[in-house]
Protein backbone atom coordinates (compact mmCIF):
# COMPACT_ATOMS: atom_id res chain seq x y z
CA UNK A 1 0.00 0.00 0.00
CA UNK A 2 2.83 2.33 0.87
CA UNK A 3 4.48 1.67 -2.52
CA UNK A 4 1.26 2.47 -4.39
CA UNK A 5 0.87 5.73 -2.49
CA UNK A 6 4.45 6.80 -3.22
CA UNK A 7 4.10 5.90 -6.91
CA UNK A 8 0.84 7.83 -7.17
CA UNK A 9 2.40 10.81 -5.42
CA UNK A 10 5.34 10.80 -7.87
CA UNK A 11 3.05 10.64 -10.90
CA UNK A 12 0.93 13.54 -9.66
CA UNK A 13 3.98 15.58 -8.67
CA UNK A 14 5.77 15.01 -11.96
CA UNK A 15 2.85 15.93 -14.21
CA UNK A 16 1.78 19.03 -12.35
CA UNK A 17 3.15 22.44 -13.09
CA UNK A 18 6.15 23.43 -11.02
CA UNK A 19 6.27 26.97 -9.69
CA UNK A 20 9.68 28.35 -8.81
CA UNK A 21 10.48 31.95 -7.99
CA UNK A 22 7.26 33.09 -9.65
CA UNK A 23 7.94 31.07 -12.81
CA UNK A 24 5.87 28.19 -14.12
CA UNK A 25 7.96 25.23 -15.26
CA UNK A 26 5.94 22.62 -17.14
CA UNK A 27 6.87 18.95 -17.31
CA UNK A 28 4.08 17.79 -19.64
CA UNK A 29 5.00 18.63 -23.25
CA UNK A 30 1.42 18.34 -24.53
CA UNK A 31 0.18 20.95 -22.06
CA UNK A 32 3.19 23.19 -22.65
CA UNK A 33 2.75 22.96 -26.43
CA UNK A 34 -0.91 23.92 -26.16
CA UNK A 35 0.00 26.95 -24.04
CA UNK A 36 2.79 27.90 -26.46
CA UNK A 37 0.43 27.78 -29.43
CA UNK A 38 -2.28 29.73 -27.61
CA UNK A 39 0.08 32.44 -26.30
CA UNK A 40 2.21 32.55 -29.50
CA UNK A 41 5.46 32.07 -27.55
CA UNK A 42 8.29 29.64 -28.24
CA UNK A 43 8.92 26.63 -26.01
CA UNK A 44 11.98 26.84 -23.77
CA UNK A 45 13.11 23.22 -23.37
CA UNK A 46 15.57 22.88 -20.47
CA UNK A 47 17.36 19.51 -20.58
CA UNK A 48 18.91 19.07 -17.15
CA UNK A 49 20.27 16.61 -14.64
CA UNK A 50 18.82 18.38 -11.63
CA UNK A 51 20.39 16.26 -8.91
CA UNK A 52 23.85 15.58 -10.35
CA UNK A 53 24.82 18.07 -13.09
CA UNK A 54 26.98 20.84 -11.63
CA UNK A 55 26.70 23.07 -14.72
CA UNK A 56 22.89 22.72 -14.68
CA UNK A 57 22.75 23.79 -11.05
CA UNK A 58 25.10 26.66 -11.79
CA UNK A 59 22.98 27.84 -14.76
CA UNK A 60 19.88 27.83 -12.60
CA UNK A 61 21.59 29.74 -9.80
CA UNK A 62 23.38 32.30 -11.98
CA UNK A 63 20.64 32.89 -14.57
CA UNK A 64 17.27 31.16 -14.12
CA UNK A 65 16.69 32.31 -10.54
CA UNK A 66 17.53 35.97 -11.16
CA UNK A 67 14.91 38.75 -11.38
CA UNK A 68 16.10 39.64 -14.91
CA UNK A 69 15.53 36.12 -16.22
CA UNK A 70 12.21 35.73 -14.42
CA UNK A 71 10.86 38.93 -16.02
CA UNK A 72 12.21 37.94 -19.45
CA UNK A 73 10.82 34.39 -19.29
CA UNK A 74 7.32 35.51 -18.28
CA UNK A 75 7.13 37.76 -21.35
CA UNK A 76 8.91 35.63 -23.95
CA UNK A 77 8.72 31.84 -23.51
CA UNK A 78 6.84 28.83 -22.16
CA UNK A 79 9.22 27.02 -19.80
CA UNK A 80 9.58 23.23 -19.92
CA UNK A 81 11.90 21.24 -17.65
CA UNK A 82 13.06 17.93 -19.12
CA UNK A 83 14.90 16.33 -16.24
CA UNK A 84 17.26 13.33 -16.20
CA UNK A 85 17.91 12.81 -12.49
CA UNK A 86 20.06 9.99 -11.15
CA UNK A 87 18.81 9.84 -7.56
CA UNK A 88 15.36 11.40 -7.70
CA UNK A 89 12.60 8.95 -8.74
CA UNK A 90 10.48 9.88 -11.75
CA UNK A 91 7.29 8.48 -13.25
CA UNK A 92 7.89 6.11 -16.19
CA UNK A 93 5.73 8.16 -18.58
CA UNK A 94 7.77 11.28 -17.80
CA UNK A 95 11.05 9.39 -18.32
CA UNK A 96 9.75 8.13 -21.67
CA UNK A 97 8.68 11.62 -22.80
CA UNK A 98 12.02 13.16 -21.77
CA UNK A 99 14.07 10.41 -23.45
CA UNK A 100 12.10 10.78 -26.69
CA UNK A 101 12.65 14.55 -26.72
CA UNK A 102 16.35 14.06 -25.95
CA UNK A 103 16.56 11.88 -29.07
CA UNK A 104 14.53 14.29 -31.23
CA UNK A 105 16.77 17.24 -30.31
CA UNK A 106 20.02 15.24 -30.27
CA UNK A 107 20.95 16.35 -26.77
CA UNK A 108 24.32 14.90 -25.80
CA UNK A 109 25.25 17.03 -22.79
CA UNK A 110 23.71 19.01 -19.96
CA UNK A 111 22.60 21.68 -19.54
CA UNK A 112 21.08 22.19 -22.96
CA UNK A 113 18.29 24.63 -23.73
CA UNK A 114 16.40 24.28 -27.01
CA UNK A 115 13.91 26.84 -28.27
CA UNK A 116 11.16 25.41 -30.45
CA UNK A 117 7.87 26.35 -32.09
CA UNK A 118 5.13 23.73 -31.82
CA UNK A 119 2.56 23.29 -34.57
CA UNK A 120 -0.28 20.80 -34.77
CA UNK A 121 -1.09 19.12 -38.06
CA UNK A 122 -3.43 16.15 -38.44
CA UNK A 123 -3.56 15.78 -34.66
CA UNK A 124 0.23 15.46 -34.30
CA UNK A 125 2.50 18.03 -32.70
CA UNK A 126 5.59 19.00 -34.68
CA UNK A 127 8.45 20.99 -33.19
CA UNK A 128 10.33 23.51 -35.34
CA UNK A 129 13.82 23.90 -33.89
CA UNK A 130 14.80 27.54 -33.52
CA UNK A 131 18.20 27.06 -31.86
CA UNK A 132 19.95 25.92 -28.73
CA UNK A 133 22.30 27.12 -26.03
CA UNK A 134 23.69 25.95 -22.71
CA UNK A 135 25.66 27.46 -19.90
CA UNK A 136 27.09 30.85 -20.90
CA UNK A 137 29.38 32.74 -18.55
CA UNK A 138 28.45 36.35 -17.88
CA UNK A 139 25.20 36.11 -15.93
CA UNK A 140 21.63 36.79 -16.96
CA UNK A 141 22.27 39.75 -19.27
CA UNK A 142 24.68 37.81 -21.47
CA UNK A 143 22.53 34.67 -21.43
CA UNK A 144 19.32 36.56 -22.29
CA UNK A 145 21.06 38.41 -25.16
CA UNK A 146 21.97 35.06 -26.72
CA UNK A 147 18.48 33.68 -26.14
CA UNK A 148 16.93 36.77 -27.76
CA UNK A 149 18.96 36.13 -30.93
CA UNK A 150 17.52 32.61 -31.07
CA UNK A 151 13.89 33.50 -30.37
CA UNK A 152 14.05 36.28 -32.98
CA UNK A 153 13.60 33.38 -35.46
CA UNK A 154 10.15 32.65 -33.99
CA UNK A 155 7.43 33.73 -36.41
CA UNK A 156 3.98 34.19 -34.92
CA UNK A 157 1.10 32.60 -36.76
CA UNK A 158 -1.29 34.91 -38.53
CA UNK A 159 -4.63 35.23 -36.75
CA UNK A 160 -7.37 33.16 -38.30
CA UNK A 161 -10.14 35.34 -39.74
CA UNK A 162 -13.65 33.98 -39.73
CA UNK A 163 -15.93 35.54 -42.28
CA UNK A 164 -19.40 36.36 -41.00
CA UNK A 165 -22.33 37.10 -43.24
CA UNK A 166 -24.27 40.14 -42.31
CA UNK A 167 -27.65 39.37 -40.80
CA UNK A 168 -29.48 41.30 -43.55
CA UNK A 169 -27.97 39.12 -46.30
CA UNK A 170 -28.77 35.99 -44.35
CA UNK A 171 -32.42 37.10 -43.92
CA UNK A 172 -32.74 37.94 -47.65
CA UNK A 173 -31.43 34.52 -48.60
CA UNK A 174 -33.99 32.84 -46.35
CA UNK A 175 -36.83 34.90 -47.81
CA UNK A 176 -35.85 34.02 -51.41
CA UNK A 177 -35.74 30.28 -50.66
Q: What is the pLDDT of residue 4?
A: 45
Number of helical (H) and strand (E) elements in the chain, helices listed first:
7, 6
Cα separation of 86 and 107, whole Å? 17
State what percent of residues in the chain have pLDDT above 70: 78
Q: What is the pLDDT of residues 30-85, one digit of tens each?
A: 999 999 999 999 999 999 999 999 999 999 999 999 999 999 999 999 999 999 99
Q: Taking 90 as the threshold, does the pLDDT of residue 170 lie above it?
A: no
Q: Taking 80 as the threshold, does the pLDDT of residue 104 lie above it?
A: yes
Summary mean pLDDT of the chain = 86
pTM exceeds cut of 0.85: no
CA-CA-CA-CA dihedral for 23, 29, 30, 34, to nearest 10: 40
Q: What is the pLDDT of residue 164?
A: 52
Q: Taking 90 as the threshold, does the pLDDT of residue 163 lie above it?
A: no
List all residues 6 or more positions away from 69 whose beta carbon is below 8 Å from its beta carbon: 63, 140, 143, 144
Outline where DSSP puts E strands in the chain.
18-20, 23-26, 43-48, 78-83, 112-121, 124-133
DSSP state of 127: E
C-beta neighbour count of 80 within 10 angstroms: 25
Q: Taking 60 as the threshold, does the pLDDT of residue 173 lie above it?
A: no
Q: Taking 70 as the threshold, does the pLDDT of residue 174 lie above it?
A: no
Cα separation of 87 and 145, whole Å? 34
Amino acid sequence: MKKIFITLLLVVASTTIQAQDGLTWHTDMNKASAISIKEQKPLFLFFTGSDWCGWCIRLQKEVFKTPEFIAWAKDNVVLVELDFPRRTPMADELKKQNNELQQVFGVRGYPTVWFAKPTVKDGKTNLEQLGSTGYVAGGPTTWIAGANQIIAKYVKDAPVKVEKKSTKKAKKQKVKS
